[in-house]
Amino acid sequence: MFYFHLCPLEMKFICLTLLIIGGITDSISERYEVVGSADTVLAVAGEDVILPCSVKPNISVVDMRVEWLRSDLTDTQVHLYDDHEDKNTDQSQSYRGRTKLNHQELQRGDASLKLSSVRVSDEGHYKCFIQSKSWSDDVTVDVRVEAVGRPPVITGDGFDHSGGLHLQCESEGWNPEPDLEWLDSEGVSLSSETTETHRNTDGFSVKHTTTVHHRDKIHCRVKLRHHMREALIISSSNMFSSWKTSVIMISLAVVLSVIAGILIAVFAHKNRGKMLVFLFHIFYVNKAVWRSFLRQGKFIYIIHFIHNGNSKCFTLK
């Protein structure tokens, strides 16, 4: 009655018609809705996944516009169906050839999207938008991508001052971030001294280091929920004995060099004349070689020793 008071008498029929049409439109809009998934859709990298979207109650959407967008990427177009065909000229390059709508299912109101060869970069929020001539609605579908990374690689990174062997374990291509742990042969967890985590379009890469001081079987285990990758290295006693041998040999070489230097100095001091003739003979006969050494800055100490040990000085021209 309120609307009739606003309309002149001759307009009652027109107003009534508009009210009826508006009521029908409102009832249609309230009657149909686009639904997706209440839960996050879990996908596995490299496999296919279905992103659910349909109209309730079921009606054919063959004559409607169906558009899938990435709402978290400024509505990047993922897939478009309109005028009874797929129109993907404006589709994002990263989705080319990887999306598909089942046209037969469209007749039953199912506009679910099949996404093939899932990538880590596919993780995000997707909007399914359906539009007819009389109504439109949309729903958001959240997608989470799991990626199982490559097997870990263990490498040795030398010894520390106490003889401990540094080990490094690295694995790439995980999503979300995995857990990495070191274990000994008894399954006891070893502490990680340094940890590094990086993320790119392929997922997470992790790198941990630890130090072992005795012979053992060392495991590097990377886990993500029910997925696990593992590598094994056996730190043999030869590794540690070789390190000790190297230290002993180097120390011995240094000591012998010092002793030899002292003996040469004493011998040269007592036999300056003989030493001078001997050196002069070598350098004079091999003058070309001597010049080469001189240009390279070698034997400067010997020249200085000869000069101070004898009044004679040799000049090469």
Among 202, 235, 268, the domain boundary falls at 235
pLDDT for 257 equals 72
Same domain, 6 and 86: no
Same domain, 172 and 245: no
Same domain, 123 and 222: no
> How long a stretch of residues is the chain?
317
Task: Name the residue type at position 210.
Answer: T
pTM, entire model: 0.63
- Return the ∠ at Cα 242 (arms to 238 and 244), rounded to 5°: 120
In this structure, is residue 263 part of a structural domain?
A: yes
What tokens does 176 get?
A: 């979300």
Same domain, 23 and 38: no
- Which CATH number fits the domain that encloses residue 54? 2.60.40.10
pLDDT for 214 equals 80
C-alpha–C-alpha distance, residues 214 and 236, integer Å: 8
Q: With contact defined as beta carbons under 8 Å apart, do 240 and 214 qualify?
A: yes
In this structure, is residue 26 part of a structural domain?
A: yes
What tokens does 277 get?
A: 């003739």
C-alpha–C-alpha distance, residues 125 and 138, integer Å: 13
Among 96, 121, 146, the domain boundary falls at 146
In this structure, is residue 316 part of a structural domain?
A: no
* φ/ψ (deg, to 5) at 252: -65, -40
Which of 224, 210, 178 shows the shortest CA–CA distance to 197?
A: 178
In this structure, is residue 317 part of a structural domain?
A: no
Same domain, 216 and 269: no
- Whether the link from the prior residue into 8 is cis, omega within 30° of 0, is no
User: In the chain, what is the greatest distance between 2 CA atoms, to the nearest angstrom?
Assistant: 141
Same domain, 230 and 245: no
Residues in contact with 252: Cβ distance below 8 Å, sequence separation at least 6, in sequence order: none
Same domain, 170 and 204: yes
The parent domain of residue 26 ranges over 1-31
Q: With contact defined as beta carbons under 8 Å apart, do 101 and 37 qualify?
A: no
pLDDT in tens, the chain (317 residues): 444 444 454 555 444 444 444 444 444 445 889 999 999 999 999 999 999 999 999 999 999 999 999 999 998 999 999 999 999 999 999 999 999 999 999 999 999 999 999 999 999 999 999 999 999 999 999 999 999 999 999 998 777 777 788 999 999 999 999 999 999 999 999 999 999 999 998 999 999 999 988 878 999 999 999 899 999 998 765 554 554 555 556 666 666 677 766 766 666 666 555 554 445 444 444 455 545 544 544 433 333 334 444 444 443 33
pLDDT for 250 equals 64
* φ/ψ (deg, to 5) at 217: -95, 120
Which of 220, 145, 207, 151 shows the shortest CA–CA distance to 175?
A: 145
Q: With contact defined as beta carbons under 8 Å apart, do 3 and 15 qualify?
A: yes
Number of domains in the chain: 4
Orientation angle between helical segments 300-309 and 237-270, nearest 10 degrees: 30
